[in-house]
């Protein structure tokens, strides 16, 4: 447990510009001073910082601190059993291997546009989506391809989408991952304007509430993207309305080429939850058990109408922003530090060596099955047709009825009431029971 409001010595002077509490006056503690708790489930708190510097005329970054700390173990889950742990591990391996296949397709010139990776973030994507129920909703961002797999999309969907094939989810109208499925899988398409998914998902939860249900709506925002105004507005609205928003803040230390040190002044982004009046927790985003437990508790809160939760998942973006970005600006020791904390290697060690839930043979079988599944998916996607030129004019603008969104859970019990006096325009008010 960490106290987000640091107790400092009563000096009567302004505090130094530390990362936490810059410029805050730290005079004698007042009797009514409030403190807030941000539960922190990590078994390790990395202690290093990144600083901007110059090499001749070029801006670059240096890292300093303890980069040789021992790798922490996986925290035992309060909720997951053996079968579920293996299932999450399987999704994580599939997530990674599918992205490796996408990288190869890109290098073979088969991909239209770029490719975005969630390397090092597989535990965050897969274990969080795994905590959702069938009736809950998910809105992934570009790095959450693992979440899409967990939610029932096949690898071929992602592959065909990146290759803009005719049978891809957007029928070749988009080259990256702007697709969802609002009728079967309850998945809202990613929105590239960072933060815009937050109010959209709050709206989904509100819609369900008006139809008499408390559901969980999960989405993700980066450590860079969380600074946008719409993120604040969306979380605040969800918080005020007690909507079941589960927001995973993917604290992966970089926003494109900007280190998190230059994105915000709080020590941990989970502290922002205090300002919204909602619970905030910190987890190690490379530990699937921690991610699942926090997501599960947030989903439970959502289902029981207790409202919004902010989960900060600390990890590292292990590649550049997208395939075109070699991430040369990242100090190499940072990659080495986080490579030792690889979410898949550590979970494998946990399942095979620590818990002995998988024998080496069973593990090998699991990997081979994923590989042969992916090979079939790749083959199918590569050999599927491109859209016909004549089809280009369709499916871009609204075709008749294509935007008709029907209530998912049932028509609201509404009654119409005439509220205006006779002779004036009739005003209709709808009341939900
Ligand atoms: C409102 C808005 N501003 C800027 C961008 C351009 N942009 C796309 S991704 C990105 C960096 C995002 O970093 P972060 O939120 O930390 O997510 P990460 O890529 O690390 O997962 C930026 C600046 C955008 N898409 N939307
Ligand atoms: Mg980031």
CB atoms within 10 A of CB 299: 22
Q: How far is the CA of 192 from the centre of ligand 1 (A)?
A: 8
- Kindly give the number of the ligand 1 atom that is closest to the alpha carbon of 222: 15
- Kindly give the number of the ligand 1 atom that is closest to the alpha carbon of 250: 21
Q: Does the Cβ of 224 fall within 6 Å of ligand 1?
A: yes
Q: Which residues contact 235 (CB under 8 A, 6 or more apart)?
A: 198, 245, 247, 276, 278, 308, 310
Q: Does the Cβ of 319 fall within 6 Å of ligand 1?
A: no
- How far is 409 from 427, CA to CA, in rounded Å? 27
Give, for all 433 residues of the chain, the pLDDT tens digit.
Answer: 334 433 333 333 333 334 544 445 556 778 888 899 999 999 999 999 999 999 888 899 999 999 999 999 999 999 999 999 999 999 999 999 999 999 999 999 999 989 999 999 999 999 999 999 999 999 999 999 999 999 999 999 999 999 999 999 999 988 888 999 998 999 999 999 999 999 999 999 999 999 999 999 999 999 999 999 999 999 999 999 999 999 999 999 999 999 999 999 999 999 999 999 999 999 999 999 999 999 999 999 999 999 999 999 999 999 999 999 999 999 999 999 999 999 999 999 999 999 999 999 999 999 999 999 999 999 999 999 999 999 888 877 777 777 777 778 776 655 444 444 444 433 333 333 3
- pLDDT for residue 27: 64
- pLDDT for residue 261: 95
- Kindly give the number of the ligand 1 atom that is closest to the alpha carbon of 230: 1
The two structure tokens encoding residue 380: 């199918």
Q: Does the Cβ of 228 fall within 6 Å of ligand 1?
A: yes
> What is the radius of gyration, based on Cα positions, of the chain?
24
First-to-last alpha carbon distance for the chain, in angstroms, is 41
What DSSP string describes 282-344?
EEETT-HHHHHHHHHHHHHHHHTT---EEEEEE----S-SSTT---TTS-HHHHHHHHTT-HH
- How far is 221 from 194, CA to CA, in rounded Å? 7
Q: Does the Cβ of 249 fall within 6 Å of ligand 1?
A: no
Query: Active-site residue among 329, 341, 350, 378?
Result: 329
Q: How far is the CA of 99 from the centre of ligand 1 (A)?
A: 20
Q: How far is the CA of 288 from the centre of ligand 1 (A)?
A: 24
The two structure tokens encoding residue 332: 């190499």
Of 51, 50, 48, nearest to 65 (Cα)?
48
Catalytic residue list contains 151:
no
Of 227, 223, 234, nearest to 196 (Cα)?
234
Q: Among positive and negative, which fits the CA dihedral 33, 38, 44, 46?
A: negative
- pLDDT for residue 414: 54
Neighbouring residues of the ion ligand 2, judged by CB less than 5 Å: 222-223, 252, 255
């Amino acid at each position: 447990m960490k106290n987000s409001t640091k107790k400092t010595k009563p000096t009567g002077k302004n505090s130094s510009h530390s990362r936490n509490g810059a410029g805050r006056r730290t005079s004698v503690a007042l009797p009514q001073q409030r403190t807030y708790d941000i539960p922190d489930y990590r078994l390790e708190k990395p202690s290093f910082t990144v600083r901007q510097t110059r090499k001749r005329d070029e801006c670059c970054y240096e890292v300093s601190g303890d980069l040789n700390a021992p790798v922490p173990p996986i925290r035992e889950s309060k909720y997951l059993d053996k079968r579920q742990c293996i299932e999450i591990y399987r999704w994580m391996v599939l997530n990674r291997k599918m992205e490796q296949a996408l990288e190869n397709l890109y290098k073979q010139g088969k991909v239209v546009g770029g490719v975005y990776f969630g390397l090092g973030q597989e535990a965050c994507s897969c274990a969080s989506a795994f905590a959702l129920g069938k009736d809950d909703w998910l809105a992934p961002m570009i790095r959450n391809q693992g979440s899409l797999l967990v939610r029932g999309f096949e690898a071929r969907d992602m592959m065909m989408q990146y290759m803009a094939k005719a049978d891809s989810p957007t029928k070749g109208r988009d080259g990256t991952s702007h697709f969802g499925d609002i009728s079967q899988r309850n998945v809202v398409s990613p929105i590239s304007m960072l933060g815009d998914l937050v109010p959209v998902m709050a709206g989904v939860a509100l819609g369900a509430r008006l139809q008499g249900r408390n559901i969980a709506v999960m989405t993700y925002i980066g450590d860079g993207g969380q600074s946008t105004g719409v993120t604040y507005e969306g979380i605040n609205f969800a918080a005020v309305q007690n909507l079941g928003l589960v927001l995973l803040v993917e604290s992966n230390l970089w926003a494109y080429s900007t280190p998190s040190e230059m994105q915000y002044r709080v020590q941990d982004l989970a502290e922002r939850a205090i300002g919204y009046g909602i619970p905030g927790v910190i987890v190690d985003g490379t530990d699937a058990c921690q991610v699942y437990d926090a997501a599960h508790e947030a989903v439970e809160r959502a289902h029981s109408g207790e409202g919004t939760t902010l989960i900060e998942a600390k990890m590292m973006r292990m590649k550049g922003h997208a395939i075109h970005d070699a991430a040369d600006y990242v100090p190499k020791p940072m990659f080495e530090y986080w490579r030792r904390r690889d979410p898949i290697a550590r979970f494998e060690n946990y399942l095979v060596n620590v818990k002995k839930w998988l024998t080496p043979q069973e593990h090998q079988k699991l990997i081979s099955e994923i590989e042969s599944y992916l090979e079939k998916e790749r083959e199918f996607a590569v050999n599927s047709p491109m859209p016909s030129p004549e089809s280009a004019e369709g499916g871009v603008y609204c075709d008749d009825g294509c935007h008709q969104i029907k209530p998912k859970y049932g028509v609201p019990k509404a009654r119409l009431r005439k509220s205006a006096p006779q002779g004036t325009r009739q005003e209709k008010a709808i009341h939900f029971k």
